[in-house]
Structure 1
Amino acid sequence: MGVRGLTTYVNKNQDAFLQQFFLYETNLVIDGNGLCAQLYRSLNCFSAFGGDYDKFASYVRKFFKSIRKCNVSSYVIFDGSYEPRKLRTVFGRLRSKINGASRLDPVTQGCLHIFPLLLRYVFKEILKEFDIPYTICEFEADDEIAAMARHLNCPVLSYDSDFFIYNVMYIPFNTLEHKPMIIEDDGVSKYALECRIYKVEFLTNNFGGLDEELLPLMATLLGNDYVEKKVFRKFFSQLKLPKSRKCNNEQQRSIHGIIKWLQNESIDSAIAKILGRLKNNEKNKVLKIIKHSIDGYKNTRCRSLKYFNISDVDPRLETNFQISETSIIPEDDDDNVSDEENTDTSSDSSDNESCEEFQDPDLITGIPNWFADGVRNHTIPPAYLNLFTHHLHLCSPQAEDYQDEDSFMCVLPILRFAFDILTDFSHENCVYVRRENSSSYKRMFLGKEYSIPRLFDKSFSDLSENELQSYFYNFFNVKLPKLDFDDVRLLPSDFQLFMLAILWWVAHCDVPIANIHSLFICYIMLDVIDEKTGIIRGHKYFSNKYSKKIEEIKVTNNTPLKTNDEELFLNKNKVQYEDSLVAANVLLKHFEIADSIRKKPKSYDVKRMHLFAQFQCCLLQVNSLNDLCGRPIESTKYHKCFNGTFAYNIAMKLDTHSDPGNFIHSYLSGAHTVLKFYKSVCVIFENISKEMCLTTSKYTGKKSRRKKKKKYEVDDPNSFLVQGFESNVTL
């Protein structure tokens, strides 16, 4: 959720609300979505190039090494599907993301926080690598995170203002030092991470013993993702706000004013006064909004304990929090209460709409157990959660050409097939919300024309592992009819889905040969060469460290290995260390933004980025379908196969050559086993492409100068929400 302005308010009063804390030898419940986002923001990555996933993976590794060094046991919880009552907020944010991503380039990437498509998947890959337990909630995770932290009596690590309201120990991410320090504990030296910690009593004691039960009401009045502040416009019109230099905007003054007002109120008296400023026909509706918003902060159930194998020795039930409706809704008519003007000029009718459109959040629990368990146990891919719960899939704005069609359009058949499997082929349509130009979105119904015939007359939960895997292979047999999986299986197991994604990409998009070869080199660099040389990204550092050795290698290793040219060389373990050093010395400079772009940012080629955005969509959907169908093929490790900056630079270099293969052999001269591996990958791709009659296109060049964009007008931007799932709090 997020209480508007509360983080700023606490940060401005840190000495009162936050205390120094040393994190060590404890459990720690981590907000997975929040930490992933904050780590990415802390890292200087090149978002305009689609995701430097290897760099991000290294940064996440470093963070969790520090956590582990301090003997902290982490439990990570991620958000799941959108809650129905939050969908309007989600769509509002989607428009902002589209607008931001449309302006993304090498100049703006530092100030626009656009998260690459595969970012959270890479984050989870590192959690698996470190054996850090994590789970994905069915819906929002905040309640679960707070309940688990209370159960374990340990802090929460996040950067979400809602945790100032939950009664938990809360460490804001921006206060956490990442480098462990040595402290003395009972005469014993121990590693710890210095940070600041928040407790509810720090806030309540600072305001003369404010009742902590009133904090959820305060958050509701200020507005969160489920209720707009303007619902309480009449209340704020009569609330005396302080005039303070510390509170330099209305929201900050509102926070301070509400806290001061609540000091002298109980929960019932406060709500009674809020409702007393409303018309009689509004009171029950607004009370329902207040109750459900407060319940979100008071929930104590924690399903996550089960999936972390933590026994709940003291089972927690739902809160017994009660509001007496009869005592707080007076009988007298308040229609004539004065209606002073406020900064929010919305009319009474808009307030009524806010009330009338409120939806009971209890509907979110109506999902089958097999689906909930699949989400928690990672057998239902995150990419398909909203597809099942809302029959809806939203676009993920990326670095792409916003004058061209949505990059996700090429994988709609995969999305529809996943929907059919999950819903037992029982629905006519699902909805894909695609971006529309650079400022808005548009619904698109995916009907039966995208479907393929059903293999088994069984529900998803009754399918065996073999039947699920049959679905996977059958789909590609239908959609890519001349594909021979025996050819794909010749490749290293962790490269097979990567190749399958490339084949789908080439079959459904106009792909230049240079882009394909750049992906081959990218995979070889990240998964083969890095394994031999270690992960080094500084070209100057590498050159200084290995220059003499590389010169010696070139002198002593100037003749290629004698092998049969027709024999495939696809064993990564047989690629030699010396050859990897030679190749790395040439390739490492391509991990940085090219000098041509630094000197002339307008040379950034958005059309080429659009192609790589399409490929990332293919890679994610192929892997997600593979996961849904019981993983018949080893999953791709995204951080070991794709770096957007590297792939872009290599593609640009190869595009100036008519034969990319010959150029690579010249460019990596001396790296014999690396070249043999590369050649073998190319041979398999060429053989499959020939059998499938796939063709590559000739690259048409850079984008033309951007035209001034016109604002896309929509009569009713929320009209396409699937009936029964739309959020009902007016924006």
Structure 2
Amino acid sequence: MRIRAFCKNIEVNELEVCNLKNCTVVIDGQNYFYRLYQDSKLPYQFGCESNKYADYLRDHFSMFKKANVKCYILFKFGNTDREKKAKFKETETYITGLTYEVNGPPPNDITPVFMKCIYREVLDEMGIDYVICEFESKKQCIALAQKLKCPIISFDIEFAFSGRPYIPYAPPLHYNDTTGSIECGIFILDHFMRKNGLTREILSIFVVLTDELIFTDLPFQSFFEEVRLPLGFFKRNAALLRWLSRNTVENIKSRIIRNLTPEDQNMFSEEQVKIFDLIGRIETPGEPVNYLLNGKSTLIENNDPQWFEKGVITKKIALVYVNMYHSNSFYGSWCIEDPNADDALFLSIDIIKYAYNLLTNYQRNNLQFKNNKNEVQNINNVSLTMTSTSSVQKPPCCEENNILFGNGWDGIKDFKLFDFFLKESLPGINLDYIKTLPEDARLVVLSLIYFCCRKKENTMTHEAYSILLSYVMLGVVLPKIDTNNNNNINGKPNIVKIDKDLVTLNDCDTASTILAPFFELTYSELENIFDKKLIHPFVEFQHCLEQMNNLNRLCDQGDYQPTIYHKTYNGTFVYKFFYSIKNESRDGALHAIKKILTSAPTVLNFYMSLVKVCEQTMTNL
């Protein structure tokens, strides 16, 4: 639903004062979170400032904890056909003429790679309940709010017509320390209709006349002129509501229809019935609602026809796999990157293809990759594997005419499907060596190795050095300072095993002070160092890391802890540090890092141990 300026009409004229405290709310996560990175005003050009964004989200959601407001958050995953077309159009716009200010806020269709992952990480950390729907989440939001008899918080104006109290996120919610409550405005449909003298039928006519997603060619202009509605959407909406309230349904319809073609007349009548049924509708709770209300558990039966939906709900199946599975298509990168290079997601094509083959049990061969230039490729005819085959071979457990995940994920880990992929795509890899790493470092290092090999380097690159240092800072140094956890290890120990506990608090303080400037970015500095060609490989790595995590979650192997992105990757830090060493030779870059961290020896030793694993692993490939 897209009614221009109606959200402003509601904000100015229809919101009632509301104070949330000791209550429950349902939050439409798709719309609520989408603009939060922009609201945070964090840089986005070099990738997500993940740790700072996580801090921003914690602070934002702390108001719900303080006010004792129980939140249930629902996200949507796949797109409808209409949304697929919109996404395609956005991609086309990005390539053919999207402009953005280097120092400006991120455009709506440019979001950091890890943005969505991070807000789910923070929700998990804070114990806030959420669920992911296979497709659209609106019906389940309404069903849950009806069941709990609570309001819905969203940016989406369609919820205003649901019959449940609607709290728009504009103006922003505000926590009042004095009252211990969240101050907001609330829209109540019954109050709105009584105040404006509207019936359900007349309100449905208003929606059909103004919703640009129903009549995209706007055939009502003659009618608007005939009843002398003012120009400007805000004033037009208010005047139209007044005019409708003063006329009978019969008069309204006759005035509208006489200005329409026979085809549009039929469409008007059909759409008005649909909207009439939509207003105040009762929705049936589905699997997502049951998951939230049943202690976040979902039973997958043997040969369960809902195995895919339940896999999405239980977070085994990643966001990008939904459209891939249902429409046999995979969209390319949406980030700022080098337009003259391959789509940044293309480097991860074999990871994506393997996941597709597992989900379809190798029974389809028509997966298409739609890159950021709107070019379409059949993925099964393309491969970046280091083997001579066109794809990762079919694992023995994938028997013909059998749905691998049809009985759920119990026992899937025994197949070692993730290890199978690594051994096929990186022949000669020593996974026992990888498993000597700290658990939260394994997927980062594996992704770096995969990234370097796909770049035909087979050795550590300047980009890899910078990325690995970001993990050390966010995953080891800063957490140790935050918890003030001093392990009382002094001197320069010779690290035999790769153990975070051997890194001392004093050295963390030193490293944090030395490297702090790389986390900050001025406007003039941004303009001076911004280079899409240099940014491109970092976008490739971010996609690679995310796709590795998606595959690992699908394979449910248990040997590799999912990456916590806000403890791994800060885009500004990574790019700025890389920029400072980019003109050095490979050995010179490593020497520069050693020199920088020489006064923090345990941090340096830990970092060099990670580098050693990467280098020795790639030497054998």
TM-score interval for Structure 1 and Structure 2 normalised by the shorter chain = 0.7 to 0.9
Q: Please name the residue that 1:306 is paired with.
A: 290
Q: 1:262 and 2:202 equivalent? A: no
Q: Please name the residue that 2:387 is paired with.
A: none
The alignment's C-alpha RMSD in Å is 2.9
Mapping of 1:524-603 within 5 angstroms? 524-534=472-482, 560-563=491-494, 567-593=495-521, 598=524, 601-603=527-529
Give yes or no for contact 1:275–1:287 (8 Å, CA) kept in 2.
Answer: no
Alpha-carbon separation, structure 2, partners of 1:140 and 1:273: 35
Q: Please name the residue that 1:485 is paired with.
A: 431
Give yes or no for contact 1:105–1:604 (8 Å, CA) kept in 2.
Answer: no
In the alignment, structure 1 segments of 5+ residues that lack a partner are 184-190, 312-366, 537-555, 693-731
SS at match of 2:452: helix
Mapping of 1:296-335 within 5 angstroms? 298=281, 300-303=283-286, 304-309=288-293
Q: Please name the residue that 1:45 is paired with.
A: 42
Distance change >3 Å, CA 268–CA 238, structure 1 → 2: closer
SS at match of 1:63: helix
Alpha-carbon separation, structure 1, partners of 2:421 and 2:119: 29
Alpha-carbon separation, structure 2, partners of 1:265 and 1:629: 61
Q: Please name the residue that 1:681 is paired with.
A: 610
Mapping of 1:221-232 within 5 angstroms? 221-225=209-213, 227-230=214-217
Q: CA deviation at 1:173?
A: 1.3
Alpha-carbon separation, structure 2, partners of 1:22 and 1:580: 43
Q: Please name the residue that 1:459 is paired with.
A: 403
Mapping of 1:706-725 within 5 angstroms? none
Deviates more, 1:573-582 or 1:421-430: 421-430
Q: 1:414 and 2:345 equivalent? A: no
Q: Please name the residue that 2:301 is paired with.
A: none
Deviates more, 1:468-477 or 1:290-299: 290-299
Structure 2 residue aligned with 1:665, among 580, 594, 600? 594
Using the size of structure 1 for normalisation, the TM-score is 0.75
Using the size of structure 2 for normalisation, the TM-score is 0.88
Alpha-carbon separation, structure 2, partners of 1:497 and 1:62: 28
Give yes or no for contact 2:140–2:289 (8 Å, CA) kept in 1.
Answer: no
Deviations 1:164-198 (A, max 9, x none): 22222122212234443222xxxxxxx11111111
Structure 1 residue aligned with 2:24, among 23, 27, 39? 27
Deviates more, 1:275-284 or 1:624-633: 275-284
Q: CA deviation at 1:282?
A: 5.5
**What fraction of aligned residue pairs are identical, expressed as a percent?**
24
The one-letter code matched in structure 2 to 1:129 is: E
Q: CA deviation at 1:407?
A: 0.6
SS at match of 1:635: coil
SS at match of 2:71: strand
Q: CA deviation at 1:147?
A: 2.7
Give yes or no for contact 1:29–1:75 (8 Å, CA) kept in 2.
Answer: yes
Q: Please name the residue that 1:238 is paired with.
A: 223
Q: Please name the residue that 1:516 is paired with.
A: 464
Alpha-carbon separation, structure 1, partners of 2:429 and 2:5: 55
Q: CA deviation at 1:84?
A: 2.4
Distance change >3 Å, CA 217–CA 127, structure 1 → 2: farther
Alpha-carbon separation, structure 1, partners of 2:58 and 2:482: 14
Mapping of 1:39-118 within 5 angstroms? 39-98=36-95, 103-104=99-100, 106-109=102-105, 114-118=110-114
The one-letter code matched in structure 1 to 2:513 is: N
Give yes or no for contact 1:106–1:601 (8 Å, CA) kept in 2.
Answer: yes
The one-letter code matched in structure 2 to 1:215 is: L
The one-letter code matched in structure 1 to 2:611 is: C
Give yes or no for contact 1:176–1:194 (8 Å, CA) kept in 2.
Answer: no
Q: Please name the residue that 2:365 is paired with.
A: 428
Give yes or no for contact 2:18–2:185 (8 Å, CA) kept in 1.
Answer: yes
Structure 2 residue aligned with 1:160, among 152, 156, 164? 156
Q: Please name the residue that 1:393 is paired with.
A: 330
Alpha-carbon separation, structure 2, partners of 1:420 and 1:267: 55
Q: CA deviation at 1:630?
A: 1.4
The one-letter code matched in structure 2 to 1:25 is: N
Alpha-carbon separation, structure 2, partners of 1:111 and 1:453: 41
SS at match of 2:110: coil
Alpha-carbon separation, structure 2, partners of 1:478 and 1:269: 71
Select the structure of larger CA radius of gyration.
Answer: 1
SS at match of 2:393: coil
Q: 1:443 and 2:376 equivalent? A: yes
Distance change >3 Å, CA 604–CA 89, structure 1 → 2: closer
Give yes or no for contact 2:26–2:151 (8 Å, CA) kept in 1.
Answer: yes
Q: CA deviation at 1:158?
A: 1.4
The one-letter code matched in structure 1 to 2:9 is: Y
Q: CA deviation at 1:238?
A: 2.3
Distance change >3 Å, CA 103–CA 240, structure 1 → 2: closer
Q: CA deviation at 1:276?
A: 5.6
Q: Please name the residue that 1:722 is paired with.
A: none
Distance change >3 Å, CA 126–CA 133, structure 1 → 2: same
Alpha-carbon separation, structure 1, partners of 2:200 and 2:275: 16
Mapping of 1:370-389 within 5 angstroms? 370-389=307-326
Alpha-carbon separation, structure 2, partners of 1:460 and 1:415: 17
Give yes or no for contact 2:443–2:548 (8 Å, CA) kept in 1.
Answer: yes
In the alignment, structure 2 segments of 5+ residues that lack a partner are 296-303, 384-390
